């Protein structure tokens, strides 16, 4: 199992969190998504390592941005 953490910019409410969870959860290989609104942290778990670019693209599809790691 692999776990990766990202910082998402621009989230301000529960709907933002839901949007990010839905988009990131749709990335192939992702088995779990946790989003903390207060800190902006996105934690992604997967069976195998998922390309960070795919996660960033999913976050952008939801209307937000991954901060530089």
pLDDT in tens, 42-53: 999 999 999 999
Class for domain 2-66, per CATH?
Answer: alpha beta
Beta strand 41-46 with 2-9: parallel, antiparallel or unpaired?
antiparallel
User: Structural domain boundaries of the chain?
Assistant: 2-66
Beta strand 65-66 with 41-46: parallel, antiparallel or unpaired?
unpaired
Give 54's pLDDT tier (boundaries 50, 70, 90). Answer: very high
| CA distance linking residue 20 with residue 43, whole number of Å | 11
| CA distance linking residue 11 with residue 4, whole number of Å | 19
**pLDDT single digits (tens) 6-33:** 999 999 999 999 999 999 999 999 999 9
| CA distance linking residue 6 with residue 4, whole number of Å | 7
pLDDT over 90 at 65, yes or no = yes
Look at residues 32, 40, 37, 24 and name the one whose alpha carbon lies nearest to residue 2: 32
| pLDDT for 62 | 97
């Amino acid at each position: 199992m692999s776990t990766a953490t990202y910082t998402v910019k621009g989230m301000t409410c529960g709907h933002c969190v839901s949007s990010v969870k839905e988009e990131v959860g749709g990335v192939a290989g992702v088995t779990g998504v946790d989003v903390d609104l207060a800190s902006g942290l996105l934690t992604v778990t997967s069976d195998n390592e998922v390309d960070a670019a795919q996660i960033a693209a999913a976050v952008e599809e939801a209307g937000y941005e991954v901060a530089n790691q």
